[in-house]
Amino acid sequence: MWFLKLLFLGPCVPLALVSANPTVYFKEQFIDGASWKKRWVQSKYKTDYGKFKLTSGTFYGDVQKDKGIQTRGDANFFAISSRFKPFSNEGKTLVIQYTVKHERKIDCGGGYVKLYPSTLDQEYMSGESQYYIMFGPDICGHGRKLVHVILHYKGENYSVKKEIRCKVDSYTHLYTLILRPNQTYEVKIDNVKTESGNLEEDFDFLVPKKIKDPAVVKPEDWDDRKKIEDPKDVKPEDWDQPKYIIDTSAKKPKDWDQEMDGEWEPPSIKNPEFKGDWKPRQIDNPKYKGVWVHPQIDNPYYSPDFNIYKYDDIGIIGLDLWQVRSGTIFDNFLITDDERFAEEFGNLTWGKTKDPEKKMKEKMDDHQKQKIRGEDRKRAEQQKQWQSRKERKGKQYKEGPAKDNSGKERAKDKRHKKTEL
């Protein structure tokens, strides 16, 4: 029976899952502070590459567990990689998994990873470096929101023919790619199967098994028209009418000057009797034989390859990206041969912090909304006070300065006192 237990697995991950007998080729959770810099190499191929910073971001589920490396610097290329003991996935399942958090809701840029052969010079890794596998989300504008699955085969890179949509919000998401020895693949997002299929069918690695028989042509008398025009249908005699007619109700303006304006002509209006081009009605074709299907034969150039899934020298994982808006956090990297181990690892990492992360983000958003509403009320009150002062000043200007009658009142009081005496 398959079982799980908890134990320490080295400096990168103090707590992880182990199934019956999984092989973990690479694991990185960035929980040991600045030590991650000893394991990851920043490329020097360009002098102006963007940088990476260890952070859990402005919102998170756990401030320590959610720490990852974040892209820093807008409109930049990024290139960083980490090396591990080389291996071959021959005869084994290969699982690539990691989390991506587009904290600033990326508008154009990549969030994918690449697996390289161990021969790669990490200090000179670039977009030109040959890789084995490229996998993960890529977003640009409204038209590009997909998950890349690109596999290297015999000197060429091939993309999956299916369109796999990625997540586009600002939360952390778990991406998983599974390649199996039976030539099947599976893509999971947040531990839920999103797409799957056969490598040979969903990629153009090989020429097709079947081709159209070049010796067979469509018979000349084959009628594949389902509908035809009714030969008995006749156009009505009154059908043809002009599209526009003279407006007989129009009258020449009284101020029309023929010498200045030329000869007056009544305007044209749309003809209510106009019916457009006449077409005979459609009827079922009595000679219809259906859609002709070109017979197929075995492709003489087809040769099966049962090792499409296999890579012999996997030794480096890297981020080779372009981002217009930076701020993406990468975390919880895992390369293993065990699908169930990867799923449970995802549940114990991303799965434990995703809900608290969402709650913190919602709380931040509510606070920001309240702050904006408060600022709006303050501006409205200031506007009201300003308008009130403006109206008072306008009234004083219209009525003139207020009269000071205090002197007259004092004189009146003195006369009143003398009378009493």
- Residue 359 assigned ligand-binding role: no
Would you say residue 187 lies in a domain?
A: yes
First to last CA, the chain: 121
Alpha carbon 343 to chain centroid, angstroms: 24
**Any known ligand binding at 162?**
no
**Torsions phi, psi for 203 (to 5 deg):** -130, 155
Q: How confident is the model at residue 323 (pLDDT cuts 50, 70, 90)?
A: very high
Within-domain flag for 345: yes
In a domain, 298, yes or no: no
CATH of the domain at 73: 2.60.120.200
42 marked as binding residue: no
Measured over the CA atoms of residue 279, residue 283, residue 285 and residue 286, the dihedral's sign is negative
CA distance 183 to 152: 14
Task: State the total domains in the chain.
Answer: 1
CA–CA distance, 335 with 98 (Å, rounded to integer): 9
Per-residue pLDDT tens over the stretch 386-398: 887 777 777 666 6
- 5 labeled part of a ligand binding site: no
According to the annotation, is 383 in a ligand binding site?
A: no
Token match 């756990």: residue? 62
Specify the pTM.
Answer: 0.75
Q: Output the six-digit token pair for 394.
A: 């306008």
* Residues in CB range of 173: below 8 A, 6 or more apart: 99, 100, 101, 137, 166, 167, 189, 190, 350
CB atoms within 10 A of CB 92: 17
Residue 255 falls inside a structural domain: no
More confident residue, 4 or 122: 122
29 among annotated binding-site residues? yes
110 within domain boundaries: yes
What pLDDT score was predicted for residue 145?
95
> Is position 390 annotated in a ligand binding site?
no
Burial track 148-173 (b if 16+ CB lie within 10 A, e otherwise)? bbbbbbeeeebebeeeeebbeebbbb
Domain assignment of residue 395, yes or no: no
- Report if residue 400 sits inside a domain: no
Residue 389 belongs to some domain of the structure: no
Q: Is 74 among the annotated ligand-binding positions?
A: no
Q: Is the pLDDT of residue 50 over 90?
A: yes
Determine the structural domain holding residue 326 and report its residue range.
Answer: 5-209+307-366
281: Cβ contacts below 8 Å, ≥ 6 apart: 229, 230, 233
Q: Is 175 annotated as a binding residue?
A: no
